[in-house]
Chain A
């Protein structure tokens, strides 16, 4: 979760997209976990999925679902039509009509879903990470099965983030409260992936180098693997913080990496994580939960905070300005390019 979402849509979708937004060539989607200081029974006015054009819109359009904690989302853009999936505290919700209507497609057995992701080539296959383990659907999210084979105990089944390899869709890495786990059979079984560090909060794969994995941890900084999880090293030159909730790659330059977390502001590396520079200029809230890079213009970067809404940068993350969603706890940001060629 909290990864860059680089979703390039099929041209056929433009007609569909135009029905909702006339200029839907590129949209900035943001999910909110909740507003500040919420407890059950209160109105959750800012929870759900929002979107706007990053260039032309001044206001955000609410896409649903209200009264829910939305931890993250994914959007699949096959030729048949757009499918949105939300990871929420009441399970997985899906919309197949551009957010007009939604259905809770999981049942009571799935709760507090932290991350959801479609197989990039087959929307029938959907994965979800939860505090109770890993789940998989092979019918587009209508039925789910828990896949915890090899994940033993509450710490191992606490999965805030996972990544499906973009070169091998059966190879999945999961961040857990225990260590990093990997599955080579599409979630059917799991084993430890070589990093014996607990409290993993996020895991990402370099979109241009499948061997490079990065994890952000609670209290233990950033770790890198250049061997697809076999060996790991801590990279902390220039890093003065220890808790990271998000790691994001520039899709146009494999050496450029962004990271954020508790009180961190934005960290940026331009040499593959060897050295880091910290940027806070214009950030009213330094607790960063998610970062996304525009797939077309990588100088445009977006950051979600954990109480201060969304911030945007037009100079590669060096300076920031507020883009809205007052007090929103932002869980995930994606820049969706509907003008793209495929779903990846």
Chain B
């Protein structure tokens, strides 16, 4: 058996799926498994000869082929690029490898921080990485004048500015909520920023802040984690990863830190591993204990709104219902993040990677872009679609809409749409994966879906049409096969349900076999639960009594009542649920698990356990 096969065997041997409370590992066992996965991941990179900083960092970390790493780094430094995506791995390479790298390589790295001027970027993850890496670099070369740095500031000035920003950002995050929140794709950028501080900072305050922020981000993911999937609404996610979350880096984070599912070979994790940061086991327990279903609510923050709005950082309200079989979660709707917003979905264990059902109104506008970017309004679309190519497509699967709102209560969700005539898309879309075991279009009006032990029912308030869509677009398929006919070789990915009515909506009910029994029983019960809707321009509402006899009344945009009581989203804390709690403005995060309580106190900058 060669080294690669040994690594594969090790990776497969430590898989762990969602487990009951009694099956969870002790701290010692957890750390042993974590180290095994981490070492296996490093070993899969430290023998490669490709010129990238992940490989070189792994080589420095394991001391395997340091000379090769030196050579590769010096080659890479001839053409530095990537801004903060360069800064983080380069300073990691330096700190991990400086005791063994050649003087020439060390000098080349130092020189790069003088001659290459990385951009600060334009998102919070950019800034977090930028300032974390800059701080560490200014610690490594602590007494240099401004002439030795790309920005003309001395080491001391750079440390001061970076530290001030990082603490200010942490304060904003722990008082008003994270801005680029709950992103399956971008969680690693934040973890890079926090773990390099936790692992490498000499400044005690920033080292502790890095540790606390790492826990904050991981706990935030853990509470909405289901078998390597990030549940609920997201600020940002790429379309292909929305459909196949295994391709998103969050699966790698879950595999490594939560020991969830099969190990994943994710290069992004190398930097985090090399910092030596170890997560407390309470987060591992929160991530994996699905013995009891629970409601978890959160308040997050809209990205800085620079114009076309009344306040800079409006609140985002999240609602998530988690079970061992599925998770359904939602943002309240509206424009909360540019371009890549994902407002709501139900995810489940069955049929990965296409284990998701959701809906949206495909919307785009220079108004939306202008809210968040200081760009020329008339030219914004070309700028955006150069990197986010689906942004202005009618068929896109990501993005928020000002014409969409949701109302969720446990495992029942209502979405309403009031779309003005002439907006970007005059339809709403829904995604149903092709691998569902059942997709029944029932005479009652319900669409009944079965995915293993998870049952999903969807009641469209307006008629629509079904279209089959394939993993490969038809033109590409034709180019490859020379055929215009799908003869079965082209894999079906999903069914798109499209409704062209401008005043629209749907009700979604989700139950598991444990919750309701058989799929047949689920369908029979729902046939008598028919929503009552008013769908007129400017007057869109629905009343619905769900399977648990809870009455939900929802009027677009923000009139929500549950069993006759007004639901006031503005009272939502930063975190509220059985595992995580934090009040607005508290600068605290309280993690609890039976027998344990761990408090991150950002105001006092301390971690307490009770």
Contact = CB atoms under 8 A, between A and B. Distances in A.
Nearest to B387: A39
B127 interface: yes
B392 to A, nearest CB: 15
B82 A41 contact: yes
A240 interface: no
A153 interface: yes
A177 B308 CA distance: 8
B153 interface: yes
Contacts of B312: 154
B104 interface: no
Q: Most A CB atoms within 10 A — which of B122, B164, B376, B379?
A: B376
Interface in B134-166: 146-147, 151-153, 161, 164-165
B131 A90 contact: no
B153 A103 contact: yes
Contacts of A218: 377-378
Nearest to B115: A66
Contacts of A243: 378
Interface string B305-348: 11111111000000000000000000000000000000000000
B415 to A, nearest CB: 28
Contacts of B152: 93, 101-105
A154 B312 CA distance: 6
A112 B374 contact: yes
Nearest to A261: B378
B570 interface: no
B306 A154 contact: yes
Q: Most A CB atoms within 10 A — which of B147, B306, B312?
A: B306
Contacts of A93: 152
Contacts of A39: 386-387
Contacts of A108: 127, 131, 161, 164-165, 168
Contacts of A114: 374
A107 interface: yes
A131 interface: yes
Given A103-B152, A108-B131, A154-B308, A67 B378 contact: no
A67 B311 contact: no
Contacts of A42: 81
Interface string A112-137: 10100000000000000001100000
Nearest to B372: A131
Q: Most A CB atoms within 10 A — which of B117, B123, B168, B311?
A: B117
Q: Size band of the B side of the interface?
A: 35 or more
B606 interface: no
Contacts of B119: 40, 44, 67-68, 89-90
Contacts of B308: 154-155, 177
B122 A89 contact: yes
A104 B151 contact: yes
Q: Size band of the A side of the interface?
A: 35 or more
A276 to B, nearest CB: 20
Contacts of A245: 376
B87 to A, nearest CB: 12
B119 to A, nearest CB: 5
Interface in B402-433: none
Q: Most A CB atoms within 10 A — which of B168, B307, B308, B377?
A: B307
A291 to B, nearest CB: 16
B538 interface: no
B585 interface: no
Interface string B108-120: 0000000011111
Interface string A28-64: 0000000011111111100000000000000000000
A68 B122 CA distance: 11
A65 interface: yes
Contacts of B127: 108
B463 interface: no
B306 A131 contact: yes
B126 interface: yes
A158 interface: yes
Interface in A152-169: 153-155, 158, 160
Contacts of B310: 153-154
A306 B379 contact: yes
Contacts of B82: 41
A93 B168 CA distance: 23
Interface in B60-119: 81-83, 85, 116-119
A244 to B, nearest CB: 11
B117 A107 contact: no
Interface string B365-400: 000000000101111001100110000000000000
B153 A104 contact: yes
B120 A132 contact: no
Contacts of B126: 40
B307 A177 contact: yes
B100 to A, nearest CB: 29
Contacts of B146: 103
A44 B81 CA distance: 9
Q: Most B CB atoms within 10 A — which of A43, A93, A131, A154?
A: A154
A44 B306 CA distance: 24
B81 A43 contact: yes
A42 B387 CA distance: 10
A65 B117 contact: yes
B121 interface: yes
A111 interface: yes
A333 to B, nearest CB: 17
A287 interface: yes
Nearest to A287: B379
B117 A40 contact: no
Nearest to A40: B121
B80 to A, nearest CB: 9
B222 to A, nearest CB: 29
A286 to B, nearest CB: 12
Contacts of B387: 39
Contacts of B386: 37-39
A330 B262 CA distance: 51
A223 interface: no
A57 to B, nearest CB: 25
A262 B378 contact: yes
B95 to A, nearest CB: 22
Contact of B306 (A40, A102, A158, A262): A158
Contacts of A287: 378-379
B378 A89 contact: no
A154 B83 contact: no
Contacts of A43: 81
Contacts of A41: 81-83, 85
Contacts of B120: 89-90, 111
A268 B382 CA distance: 29
B287 to A, nearest CB: 30
Interface in B173-216: none
Contacts of A104: 151-153
B366 to A, nearest CB: 10
Q: Which 8 A-B pairs have the closest CB atoms?
A: A103-B152, A39-B387, A37-B386, A131-B306, A108-B165, A158-B307, A104-B151, A262-B378
19 contacts: A37-B386, A38-B383, A39-B386, A40-B122, A41-B85, A67-B117, A90-B119, A90-B120, A93-B152, A103-B146, A107-B164, A108-B127, A108-B164, A108-B165, A112-B306, A114-B374, A153-B309, A154-B306, A154-B307
Given A67-B119, A160-B374, 12 more contacts: A36-B382, A37-B386, A40-B83, A40-B122, A40-B126, A103-B151, A107-B165, A108-B165, A132-B306, A154-B306, A177-B308, A289-B376
Interface of A: 36-44, 65-68, 89-90, 93, 101-105, 107-108, 111-112, 114, 131-132, 153-155, 158, 160, 177, 218, 243, 245, 262-263, 287, 289, 306
